[in-house]
Each structure stands twice: as structure tokens, then as C-alpha cells.
Amino acid sequence: MKDERTTPKYGIPEAIDLPDRMWPSQTVTASPVWCSVDLRDGNQALPDPMDPDQKLEYFELLCRIGFKHIEIAFPSASEADFRFTRRLVEEDRIPDDVYIMGLTQCRPHLIDRTFEAFRGLKRGIVHAYIAASELHRQHVFGMDRAKTLEKAVEAARQIRARAEAMPEADIRFQFSPEEFTDTDLEFTLDLCTQVYEAWGKATPEKPLILNLPATVERRPPNHYADMIEWFAKNFPHRESVSISVHSHNDQGMAVAATELTLLAGADRVEGTLFGHGERTGNVDLVTVANNLYARGIETGLDFSDIRGVADVVERLTGMPVYYRQPYAGEYVFTAFSGSHQDAINKGVHRLGEAPDKFGMRWKVPYLHIDPEDLGRKFERLIRINSQSGKGGIAWVLEQDYDIEVPQDLRSELREIVQAYSDRMGREVASSEVYDLFRSEFLEPEGPYELVGYWPRPDREDPGYIHGEVRIKVHGEEKAGEADGNGPVSAFVNAVRPFCSIGFSVDDYHEQAVGKGADATAMAFVPLKLDDGRIVYGAGSDSNIDQAAVRAIVAGLNRLEGS
Ligand SMILES: CC(=O)SCCNC(=O)CCNC(=O)[C@H](O)C(C)(C)COP(=O)(O)OP(=O)(O)OC[C@H]1O[C@@H](n2cnc3c(N)ncnc32)[C@H](O)[C@@H]1OP(=O)(O)O
Ligand SMILES: CC(C)C(=O)C(=O)O
Ligand SMILES: [Mg+2]
């Protein structure tokens, strides 16, 4: 017995002896075969596993996304899984290009039951597994290597015999040496070679699938890649096997591990949507697939409505998709901070220059992928809190309300929004940004209330405008009239006598809000005060001149209001 006090609790996993490793200099250029194990590995780890109707809905979602290999159950484990498998077969629910897969231990009665569940199936994969690691063999199974080999080989032979009894069906075989990454490589090679020979039916067209799992992530991703490269180089019938990887996420590196194993030669990837699965889960296939997509690789998986996919998965599993989950999380295409907002805003507006400058059509600061490819919208790109800048605030008003806030006004608006956000201590919704804009610039409280303004061309000099105005000042209605070289200057001249401070208007900024018959005009007017200050008001009306005079009244109210 070793002395417990001097034996360290943990040890560094032994590195793989692979001095000529190639994977670090490889590039992934094509998609692997994808296999969803949501309905088996994902489902077995749910606090409330899915019922058959829920599984069916999930299965149909996986088919719509484009998975061609789908592990649908452990048919021999429970009546529910058995019945679900039967239902898919009997109700003819499996698309012609989809292989369903059923998991079984290497135990004769479980294999028999799996084939019972597969009766009448046109194409499918029987997936047998046995753990080969010393830990499992010694502490769980009490089996030596020879016994493990014997069980696996017997299972392969039995599966072959049962598959041959279904000549009308295309039955493939997948074998998993569970705990591959914790097992001596030479032994795994021997085990897989013997299983390959016992199966005896593998061809390049119908390969045996050797699924080499990181059942528990105990090693760094580079070790997993080394093991896959070593195995692929040493397996004697490489052309007739499909090397599959199956990463769990115990150390949070399943995506990295999967990507490195692809560099190392893996042909196929098993995982789940959003990483459902035992403990920390299986590798998240949404992330792996979209990472490849974002490098220009066609994956065959359709995530063009990623939130729709997430909604279904959340409902069926009862587990939420995390806010920052790559690609699908609520905040992953959102910038709160000012400098990010500014850069995204500018980057999106200069997208047209990207092909020439960067050799690709999408190159935007802080966004490695176009959210629209995932059905995500730009409106949610920029959200406002106390860290937000003027560019972001302007973006929100432009996107949600079609209001283009002039540059000169943005800093002032930002201060108002920031003070509000600080006061609230939380994110500010775009409707609140609009309300702040409205109450501060469009309809500020103050002494002036416009009753009406009637501009018309001067009778004697049509180059001039004669304006009549009725305005309430502190509730008392006043009437005035004046000429000007335009409707706005006539208005300024007409109301000036009622104002306690002198001002002029040199120019103003106007825009249409909305389109077609429903469009309204929005005017932003800077009042130049006699003391040199500039105060902006905003006004909106179906008529541009009326919008401008409302903006002047708003500016006066801002100046003299509370
Ligand atoms: C890494 C993974 O995710 S593997 C998949 C795990 N999923 C599940 O286990 C969910 C479904 N499983 C079940 O419902 C049950 O385990 C069943 C129905 C399959 C089997 O049930 P039982 O036979 O009652 O129990 P259990 O699974 O505990 O079997 C343990 C026995 O099987 C043996 N065994 C376990 N795995 C395997 C295997 N892959 N191949 C051969 N024998 C195995 C064990 O050595 C043990 O043998 P012992 O009885 O001589 O000690
Ligand atoms: C059944 C096997 C492939 C498994 O799920 C694992 O090893 O994690
Ligand atoms: Mg697993």
C-alpha cells in the first residue's frame, strides 16, 4: 500500500509520444459528418427525460437542421426508449437519408433487444460500447484486458449475425471504447482491430464507425488530438473506418478538443445542441458547426433560425440557453459599451469596402459572424446602459424609431441617457431612450404652447412669407404676425416679442421619419441665443415647416422650462 500522505491527490496526465505530430500545422477545410446524440446522451442527463412526443418533436428538429446520423435512444434500457424507436420505424418517420442509431452495452440480451427495436428499419446504426480503461476495468467491471476483448468481439459477432438476418436493411456498426482518452493506446488499437475483424463487413463505402470518446475530459485538448492522430496513423484498416470523436466538457474545453481532433484527422463528430449531456455536457455542436461556417466551410447544418432552435430545445429540455452561449445566447450579438457600439456602427456602414480591403465580405469590429446568417437581427446589436456612448444611443433611435439624431446633439443626449441609466442602475430599453429623447427634446415642459401657425406668401412680395402665430405663454394666449424670407424666419420674428431671451435661427436639420404616406417630418433646430449659447429643440409634424416651428417652441421650453 502506498502512503496516502505522500501520494499527490492529482497527477499530470502522461503526454502522448508523438514527436512527428502533424495536426498543429493542419487546417480544417471540409465539414465532418455530424452525429447528434441529444436524444440519448443529452436525454439521459436531463432531470426529467423527454417523453416520446417530446422526443419526436426534437427528432424532427434535428432532421430539419440537417443531421444525417441521429442517436435516438438506448432502446434496450427502458420501455420508453424501446417504444420510441418502434414508433419512428412503424410510423415511417425517418427521412430516407437519415441513419438512426441505438446504443447498447456489449451484452447479448441488450443487443437482441436493440435489434427487436430495429425490426423493419431501412437503415440504421447499432452502437455498442464497452469501457476499456484500467480504471473502469478494475474498479467497475472487474474484467482484465482479455475479458474485455472477448466481450467486445462477441458483441461485434452477434451484431453482425443479427444485421445479416435483416438483408433488406442497411445496418451499420459503431463501436466505442468508452473512456478512450483514459485508456492505453496500444490496448485500444488492439481492441478496435479485433472488433473490426469480428464485424468483418467494413468497406470504404460502408465504414465501421470507431467512436473514440473523451468520456470524461481529463486531459488538455492537445492530448486528445495526439491520441486521434496516433490512432489514425496506426490503425491497420484506416480507409474502411470512420474515426469519430465524442468530447465531454468537464474542463470546459470540449469545443477546442473537438476542433483539434478534426485537425488530427477525425472524420465525424458526436455532440448535442447547446451541449446538453452528462455533467457539464457533451460538446456543443452549434458552436463547432458555426465556427467552421464562420471560416467559410459548408457544414450541411442549417442554423439560420438559431433562436427558433433554442426555443424548441429550451422548451423540450426544460433548460435555458445561457445568455452568453456562443451564437445562440441573448447577448452574443449585443454591445453595451460605447467604444464597441461606435466601432460596430462604423464597421457595418463600411461593409461594402470589406471585400477589397480584407478579401472577405464580412469583417466588422467585434462581430466575427453576420448575425443575420443565424436569423438574428441588428436591432438587438446595441443595447444601452451607463457604459454606452453617443454612437450607440443614436443607433438605437435610428434602428427602432427611424430618427437620425444630428451629430451636434448626440453628446447632450448621451449625458441625459447616461444620467438616467446611472439613476436606474440597469440597462435602458430602447423605448426608454426614446422617451428620454421625447421628453427632453421633442416635448419638454415649459411656458410655451403653440396654438397654431399660419404662414402664407406675402401679398406684395411673393419672395417673402407672412406668418400669423397664436401661442400660449404661461397659459395666456397671445397673437402675433410678422414677415420673413421663409416660414421659419417669419415665425421667429412673430414670436420673438413674447420671449424673454433673444435668439435667432440660421439653419436646421430636417428628415423624414417612416416611409410613403405615413411618413412624418422631424426637424432639429438649433436656437442661437444672444449670449452665444446654442439650444436644440426637435419637432415632428406631417408638414416640415410645422415640424420646424414646433422644434423652435421645444427649444424655447427647454431654455425657460423647469
Ligand atoms: C458514457 C455513457 O453515457 S454510457 C451510456 C449510459 N447510459 C445509461 O446507462 C442509460 C441506460 N442504462 C440502463 O438503463 C441500464 O444500465 C441498463 C438497462 C442498460 C442495464 O441495466 P442493469 O443490467 O440492471 O444494470 P447496470 O447498467 O448497472 O449493469 C451493470 C453491469 O453491466 C456491465 N456493463 C456495464 N457496461 C457494460 C458494457 N458497456 N458492456 C458490457 N457490460 C457492461 C457491468 O460490468 C455490470 O456487470 P455486473 O452486473 O457483472 O457487475
Ligand atoms: C457511449 C459513449 C460513446 C459515451 O457517451 C461516452 O463515452 O461519453
Ligand atoms: Mg457521452
pLDDT reading at 402 higher than 50:
yes
Dist CA 514 CA 395 (whole Å): 16
What is the pLDDT confidence band of residue 381, given thresholds at 50, 70 and 90?
low
Mutate-to-test residue for ligand 2 from 105, 246, 258, 268, highest number of ligand atoms within 8 A of CB: 246
Given a contact cutoff of 8 angstroms between Cβ atoms, the answer to whether 408 and 375 are in contact is no
Residue 211 CA, ligand 2 centroid: distance in Å:
8
Q: Determine the pLDDT at residue 200.
A: 98
Mean pLDDT of all residues belonging to the chain: 94
Which atom of ligand 2 is nearest to 103's Cα?
Answer: 1
Q: Which ligand has the minimum distance to the alpha carbon of residue 281? A: 3
pTM of this structure: 0.81
Q: Determine the pLDDT at residue 421.
A: 86
Q: Is 10 exposed, middle or buried (0-12, 13-18, 19+ CB in 10 A)?
A: exposed
Better-scored residue on pLDDT, 2 or 339: 339
pLDDT reading at 379 higher than 60:
no
Which residue's alpha carbon is at the smallest distance from atom 25 of ligand 1?
77
pLDDT in tens, 436-445: 999 999 999 9
What's phi and psi for 129, nearest 5 deg?
Answer: -135, 150
Q: Which ligand has the minimum distance to the alpha carbon of residue 104? A: 1
What mean pLDDT comes out for the span 59-86?
Answer: 97
Indicate if ligand 1 lies below 6 Å from the C-beta of 141: yes
Q: Which domains does the chain have, with CATH numbers?
A: 28-317 (3.20.20.70), 338-442 (no CATH), 448-560 (3.30.160.270)
What mean pLDDT comes out for the span 509-525?
Answer: 86
Mutate-to-test residue for ligand 1 from 101, 141, 151, highest number of ligand atoms within 8 A of CB: 141
Q: Determine the pLDDT at residue 552.
A: 96
Judging by DSSP bridges, how do beta strands 241-247 and 268-271 pair with one another?
A: parallel
Beta-carbon neighbour count of residue 531 at 10 Å?
A: 8
pLDDT reading at 377 higher than 80:
no
What is the pLDDT confidence band of residue 521, given thresholds at 50, 70 and 90?
very high
Q: Determine the pLDDT at residue 512.
A: 86
Dist CA 191 CA 234 (whole Å): 13
Q: Is 472 exposed, middle or buried (0-12, 13-18, 19+ CB in 10 A)?
A: middle
Percent of the chain with pLDDT over 70: 99
Q: Determine the pLDDT at residue 380.
A: 58
Q: Determine the pLDDT at residue 562.
A: 59
pLDDT in tens, 446-464: 999 999 999 999 888 878 8
Q: DSSP string covering 301-329, please?
A: ---TTHHHHHHHHHHHHS-PPPTT-TTTS
Per mean pLDDT, which range of 252-266, 370-384, 488-502, 525-539 is the poorest? Answer: 370-384
pLDDT reading at 48 higher than 70:
yes
pLDDT reading at 319 higher than 70:
yes
pLDDT in tens, 174-192: 999 999 999 999 999 999 9
What is the pLDDT confidence band of residue 345, given thresholds at 50, 70 and 90?
confident
Residue 103 CA, ligand 3 centroid: distance in Å:
11
pLDDT reading at 79 higher than 90:
yes
Mutate-to-test residue for ligand 2 from 125, 211, 280, highest number of ligand atoms within 8 A of CB: 211
